[in-house]
Amino acid sequence: MKAAVTLGLIGLMRSPGRTLTRMLVLAAAVGLLGAMLLFIGSSLRTMTGAAIRGVPLDWQGPVASYGAASNVAAGVAGQPGVRYATAAATAPFAGVSHAGAAGQSNAGSGSLLAVPPGYERKFHVYRFLQGDLEPGKIALDQQLAATLQARIGDTVTITPRPGARPESFTVSGVALITAPDVVFQPLNPQLGPAPAQPPANAAILPLDTFARTVAPELHDRWWHRSQRLVARDDRTLDLRLFAPEKGDWVDVQALSQGTLDLVYLAARLGLVRLVTGDRRPPLVFDDPFVTLDDARATRALDLLREISRDFQVIYLTTSDRYHAAADSVVELAGPTELDDGPRQAMTAGAAHG
């Protein structure tokens, strides 16, 4: 570097014009090269970002229960950049049969995919060739429908496990499962995904129907918990509610007034715990359950009873339906006469104005 500077100074002293010209050309070349590198780097970032945004990612994870699946789906759906997240299930079956005009047709073992309503509109892993997936009914993969010679309206019988009671379903649709290796990929929490061999026979059930028939233990233990999971938009603070019966998120403004009041009550109670920290101030409620029917009011009172372990709860109401839930009831005397003197004075003043 020192030698280059020395040569540059000698050249500048001997022929200043030529040396200055060379230096300007060299500076321009370096600047042009730097601009090209910046342009290429920016273009690569832009193209990579556009390519990533345009590629859908189907992320799956194994969980131990429907309740856990709903919790995971709620957490994932609340993350930035996640379009949809929902609970689904897969299960093997031992055999399937169909009795038609040509006699009885049988098929061997295969796999079931259990999905909430509208799943195919959000996750493009299958498409319907005929019909649709209706509540309480089954949709057969095209290959299985051909093997059984089953059509829409026919009845097929599935044996979930060897020795288990067969379950009969009416066929409501024929589908083409386009990504069986993804949908039915075995997942091991410790080892990760295993090499997938797509099942020779496959069918699709509504998640509710699956839980009531093929997996009754799932239905008994978790389905009736009716979990209502809430997601918050950190930017707008808007709330969405996960409805298990729809398998999707709904805006809270689309709910009934009673359900909406319960959501906002839960949100306020969560805010109280966040703001008060270790302090325990008394909580005063001014008849927040006036829009609730008796069933919802009972559940809301259970929530207040749980809150009362940490806070003193004072509930103001004109109804007596909450007396049984209270530790003590204080009845305040109502007004005995109407004092309308000031109102008359104001009216007279206005009349003379």
197-240 pLDDT per residue, tens? 788 899 999 887 887 788 876 644 444 444 445 666 666 767 77
pLDDT of 54 over the 60 cut? no
71 plus 219 within the same structural domain: yes
* pLDDT over threshold 50, residue 114: yes
Host domain of residue 313: 274-332
Q: Tell me the pLDDT band of 152, cut-offs 50, 70 and 90.
A: very high
Domain count, the chain: 2
Whether 189 and 308 map to the same domain: the answer is no
Query: Rounded to 10 degrees, what is the CA torsion of 274, 276, 279, 281?
Result: -120
pLDDT above 70: residue 333: yes
Please indicate, yes or no, if residue 21 is contained in any of the structural domains.
Answer: no
Of 225, 243, 266, the residue that ends a domain is: 225
Give the pLDDT mean for 67-78: 73
Query: How many Cβ atoms are within 10 Å of 124's Cβ, its own excluded?
Result: 12
In this structure, the dihedral spanned by the alpha carbons of residues 192, 198, 202 and 207, taken in order and rounded to 10 degrees, is: 20
Residues 173 and 128 sit within 8 Å (Cβ to Cβ):
yes
Residues 196 and 138 in one domain: yes
Report yes or no on 31 lying in a domain: no
24 token code pair: 């300007």
Does 310 fall in a domain? Answer: yes
Mean pLDDT of the chain: 76
Q: Quote the pLDDT of residue 128.
A: 94
**92 pLDDT higher than 80:** yes
Does residue 171 form part of some domain?
yes
Q: Please say whether the dihedral angle defined by the alpha carbons of residues 113, 208, 136 and 115, taken in this order, is positive or negative.
A: negative
Please check whether residues 84 and 193 belong to one and the same domain.
yes
pLDDT band at 255 (very low <50, low <70, confident <90, very high): confident
The predicted model gives 182-188 an average pLDDT of 74
Q: Is residue 218 domain-shared with residue 79, that is, in the same domain?
A: yes
pLDDT band with cut points at 50, 70 and 90 for residue 336? low
**Are 189 and 326 members of one domain?**
no
Residues 305 and 178 in one domain: no
Average pLDDT over residues 288-316: 80
Q: Pick the range with the lowest mean pLDDT from 116-120, 297-301, 349-353.
A: 349-353
Top pLDDT among 32 and 41 is at 32
> Does residue 46 form part of some domain?
no
The residue type found at 24 is: L
**Residue 107 is assigned to a structural domain of this protein:** yes
At 349 the pLDDT is 36
- Of the ranges 24-33, 116-125, 271-280, 339-348, which one carries the lowest mean pLDDT score? 339-348
CA-nearest of 231, 283, 196 to 78 is 231
How far apart are the C-alpha atoms of 218 and 33, rounded to whole Å? Answer: 64
The answer to whether the beta carbons of residues 94 and 185 sit under 8 Å apart is no
Higher-pLDDT residue of 128 and 24 is 128
Lowest mean pLDDT among 34-43, 145-154, 209-218, 239-248: 239-248
Whether residue 298 sits in one domain with residue 220: no
How far apart CA 81 and CA 295 sit, in angstroms, is: 38
Q: Are residues 215 and 96 in the same domain?
A: yes
pLDDT at 95 over 60: yes
195 and 92 in one domain? yes
Pairing of strands 167-177, 126-131: antiparallel
Same-domain check for residues 220 and 93 = yes
If asked whether residues 175 and 303 sit together in one domain, one would say no
Could you identify the residue written with the tokens 């083409």? 176
Encoded amino acid at 258, one letter: G
HSE at residue 285, side-chain half, CA atoms within 13 A, is 24
Comparing 150 with 261, the larger pLDDT belongs to: 150
Would 287 be classed as within a structural domain? yes
Q: Which residue has the higher pLDDT, 291 or 43?
A: 291
How far are the Cα atoms of 69, 127, 306, 322 from residue 309, in angstroms, in the given order? 30, 52, 6, 18
Residue 79 lies in a domain: yes
